[in-house]
Amino acid sequence: MGPLNGVKVIELKGIGPGPYAGMLLADMGAEVIVVERARSPNGISFPASVDINCRGKSSIALNLKNEKGVETLLKLIESADMLLEGFRPGVAEKLGFGPEVCHQRNAKLVYGRVTGWGQYGPLSQVAGHDINYISLTGVLAATGESAKPTPPLNLVGDYAGGSLFLVMGMLAALHAAKETGVGDVIDAAITDGSANLMSVIHTSASIKAWQPNRSANMLDGGAHFYRTYETSDAKFVSVGSIEPQFYDLLLERAELDSSLFSDQHNPGKWREMGIELEQVFKAKTRDQWCEILEGTDVCFAPVLDYTEAPMHPHNKARETYIKLNGITQPAPAPKFSNNELSKPEAPRKEGQDTEVILQSVGFTDSEIQELIISGAVPPE
């Protein structure tokens, strides 16, 4: 079930944004076939059977350095709607399944490529990771305490700037292909995507409402009304009382002296008022502040870690988390009114569905055995 029911995706196994993009498509109902390089973990990622990003997918093992292995992949592509890969530029072409070859087999194919630096540019052939990509686009410089940039995990680069822009581009191209019969190649560079995410910062800077220094702006922890505060039990809460009516409610509910916290949007007073609020929030536990502020228009939430978040009543009410194979994990998102999303199937082992997938595209048992003997399909 799901809005992508009937869409067939070939995912060439990689790390980071590629598998996550494939999971998003599978969560939406697409049939996602992961092409593994072997039937056992190869050291470049988590074992598939415990990797959340592998849920809802089937798995085939192919040796893509073997001519018959590549030909088998091209046979799969003939009946696919999408393919996604995260190789360095030129690698797929060198191995024999670049976009030109694939489109000769399937003109409607949407060929998605996700890399850090993109398919071209001075850095396109250079190794890198999320921290490097967001460094180049201004994201990292704007994140963290004033003294030092702090990586926001690898969420902004790999997954927001990479996976989400890849999926958006592939779905847009799929829509166009259905209208025109012509596929496309999506060049999803994490640098491009993370730069795009900074649009609101560029807007703010253009009207002199943002400065390059960290912890000096309204949304980066500089403002006393938009930051986190430690509580008496060494936990934290977050406040985001930007609008004046929400700010006034914060002052009221926290029993603050309004004369000390006037002139809310004067950056010259933010540090002084922040120091005062630090002492106020340290006077109570996180749970006590939740009793006072949670559920009001103060714009408040406790800062929960990944073990606490699934237990929060709001997340439980919305079924934001599920369990598969005993592993707590985020549920598919977003939710639809007319397309119910199935609970994902648990991840499969590397190559677990090889024979079934080959049979589904017309290979006979004897032909499958020939592929195994030739080395195109890794043995059990």
Write the CB contacts of 102 (distance below 8 Å, at least 6 apart in sequence). Answer: 74, 77, 83, 109, 111
Catalytic residue among 51, 103, 129, 312: 129
What whole-number distance in Å separates Cα of residue 85 and Cα of residue 14? 7
Decide: residue 109, CB within 10 A, 0-12 exposed, 13-18 middle, 19+ buried: buried
202 catalytic, yes or no?
Answer: no
Q: With CA atoms as reference, report the closest residue to 92 among 159, 18, 42, 176.
A: 18
Q: With CA atoms as reference, report the closest residue to 7 among 94, 80, 88, 59.
A: 80
CA dihedral 176, 177, 182, 185 (to 10 degrees): 80
Write the CB contacts of 306 (distance below 8 Å, at least 6 apart in sequence). Answer: none
Catalytic residue among 27, 130, 158, 184: 158
158 catalytic, yes or no?
Answer: yes
Question: Rounded to 5 degrees, what angle do the CA atoms 64, 66, 69 make?
Answer: 60
**For residue 374, how far is the Cα from the chain centroid?**
38
Which residues have a catalytic role annotated? 129, 158
